[in-house]
A and B are shown apart, each in its own frame.
Chain A
Amino acid sequence: MNARRYMLEVRGLGKTFGETEVLKAIDLNVSEGELVFIIGPSGSGKSTMLRCCNRLEEPTSGAILIDNARITDIPRRDLDRMRLNVGMVFQGFHLYPHMSVIKNVILAQIKALKRPADEARQRGMELLDQVGLGHKADAMPSELSGGQQQRVAIARALALDPKVMLFDEPTSALDPELVGSVLKVMKDLRDKGMTMLVVSHEMAFAREAADRVVFMDGGYVVEAGTPDEIFGNPKSDRLKSFLSRVSGGAH
């Protein structure tokens, strides 16, 4: 099935904070154009794993490869160039509040990617249109709803033409009625062939859009498979109890 090449490979990834071992030998592959979904209880290390993939967090052991380049071997001073290949979307959006929407999307294109200003602006407008917010280009982030802010944050990450997009609970901070617009943007992105690794509790979206679902618990990948396998036929007790808790309406 996976004749496609891997765009993101995580091999034996370990991470300790002081005394606590948060990740214990995580193995995970994402093929080009694949959307892999990560689920798991709070505190299981999902964010830490994602943050290791662009080295916002320094792995303690193991290796991570992006498009066959070992990013875990890159010296610190060369991290910035590597990060252009890895887009990241945070739960809290983190738009720059002192800049207009379009400036948010342009900044790193000009300063990090060294794109000429007019080209950056054009690419920025393209992406704002893609996330349905072309008409908000000159608005300030504070004038936007949470859902709109998150879509701008997605455009900001996409503007650098990354090879992989990482999403860390992109809809968890949103009012329920705003979740759909963000998920739709992510679905479009997937249909365009973007490689995506998504941490989220939106199980319905996982069923609809994910190629594979990975269940993490206690710093391990406990179970992985297609959405049908994971949701329809969970094998481990931990996954079963997690799924019953989540569908039990706790979320």
Chain B
Amino acid sequence: MDAFIDTFFNIDIMRQAFPLLMKGAWITLQLCAFVIILGLLGGLALALAAVSPRGWLRWSAVIYIDFFRALPPLVLLIFVYSGLPFAGINLSPFVAVIVAFLLNNSSYFAEVFRAGINSIPKGQTEAARATGLSPAQTMTYVVLPQAVRNVLPDLLSNTVEVVKLTSLASVVSLSELLYSANMARSVTYNSSPLVLAALLYLAVLWPLVRVVSRYQRGLAVH
């Protein structure tokens, strides 16, 4: 039992590793901020293209969305980081991670937004257009506010996925939270830093997951 505690819950080692893990957590936070904010914006733009009356625009968006949802994010990341240099495109690990996960995640957000837009009855659009609102105004003031409200739980749960996804960045040696914890483990010959990293992920994500499932239960009751 003591050996177990010593290996996984060694407070001294956790304390030593803490500053390094905080640096890692800061990078994780930056990754999340970029991928979530740009992913939401890109996803919204893609969703608008996917419901556009212009055929070519709609089809380009649908193909993009399907392609990047089908491609495993790790494959995408390794391609962007290790594959593109052969074409003369060298990205730093940080930028490579953001580019790869943005390609992946904007398509997930797009799918959520598209489902939300399609959930709004046609009568809403017709009523708005009949009062002289333009297609863009109808989307902005009538359709999107209702659509976003309808898919808020899905947007949140996708956000949770982004945070988890960022741990993959450790494979391109970006010193985010998981990478830093693993580094501390290999220096101290002790797994407590990994446990600490896990606890940090949980501390952030558990409340989010609770909110999502409460929200979904609340919707199901309606």
A113 and chain B: residue at smallest CB distance: B132
Say whether A56 contacts B130, CB under 8 Å.
yes
What are the residues of chain B within 8 A of A83 when measuring CB–CB? 129-132
- Tell whether, in the assembled complex, residue A156 and residue B131 are in contact, meaning their CB atoms are under 8 Å apart: yes
Interface string of A154-198 (1 = CB under 8 A from B): 001100100000000000000000000000000000000000000
Known: A98-B149, A107-B141, A112-B137. A157 touches B124 (CB 8 A): no
Counting contact residues on chain A (CB < 8 A from B), the size range is: 20 to 34
Q: Which of B121, B126, B130, B145 contacts A98 (CB 8 A)?
A: B145
Known A96-B142, A98-B149, A111-B141; contact A80-B123, beta-carbon cutoff 8 A: no
Interface centre among B121, B126, B131 (most CB of A within 10 A): B131
How many chain B residues sit at the interface, stated as a range, is: 10 to 19
State the CA gap A125–B209 with chains docked (Å): 44
Q: Would you call A80 and B130 a contact (CB within 8 A)?
A: no
- A113: chain B residues at CB < 8 Å are 132
Distance to closest chain A CB from B127 (angstroms): 4
Total A-B Cβ pairs within 8 A: 61
A214: interface (CB < 8 Å): no
* Among A83, A87, A92, A112, residue most surrounded by chain B Cβ atoms (within 10 Å): A112
Given A84-B132, A111-B133, A94 contacting B146 (CB threshold 8 A): no
Provide the bound-state CA to CA distance between A98 and B129, in Å. Answer: 17
B137-A111 in contact (CB<8A): yes
**Complex: chain A residue closest to B126, CB-CB:** A56
Is the Cβ of B133 less than 8 Å from the Cβ of A107?
A: yes
**A132 interface contact, C-beta 8 A:** no
B134 lies within 8 A of chain A by Cβ:
yes
Question: Are the CB atoms of B131 and A97 closer together than 8 Å?
Answer: no
User: Which residues between 128 and 168 of chain B lie within 8 Å of chain A, taking CB atoms?
Assistant: 128-134, 137, 141-142, 145-146, 149
CA distance A146 to B123 in the complex (A): 16
User: Chain A's nearest CB lies how many Å from the CB of B119?
Assistant: 12
* Contact call A80/B142, Cβ cutoff below 8 A: no
Check B126 against A108 for contact (C-beta < 8 Å): no
A205 at interface (Cβ–Cβ under 8 A)? no
CB pair A108 B133 closer than 8 Å: yes
Residues of B within 8 A of A108 (CB): 128, 131-133
> Do B133 and A80 have beta carbons less than 8 Å apart?
yes
A145 vs B168: C-alpha distance when bound (angstroms): 53
Complexed CA–CA distance, A97 and B132 (Å): 19
Cross-chain contact B127 with A90 (CB below 8 angstroms): yes
Which residues of A pack against B, CB within 8 Å? 54, 56, 80-81, 83-84, 86-88, 90, 92, 94-98, 107-108, 111-113, 153, 156-157, 160
- Supply 25 A–B pairs (Cβ within 8 Å), ascending by A: A56-B126, A56-B130, A80-B132, A83-B131, A83-B132, A84-B131, A84-B132, A94-B121, A94-B123, A94-B124, A94-B126, A96-B128, A96-B146, A98-B146, A98-B149, A107-B131, A107-B133, A107-B141, A107-B142, A108-B128, A111-B137, A111-B141, A113-B132, A157-B130, A157-B131
Query: A56-B130, A80-B132, A90-B123 are known contacts; what are 11 more A-B pairs with Cβ within 8 Å?
Result: A54-B130, A84-B132, A90-B127, A94-B121, A97-B146, A98-B149, A107-B133, A107-B142, A111-B137, A112-B134, A157-B130
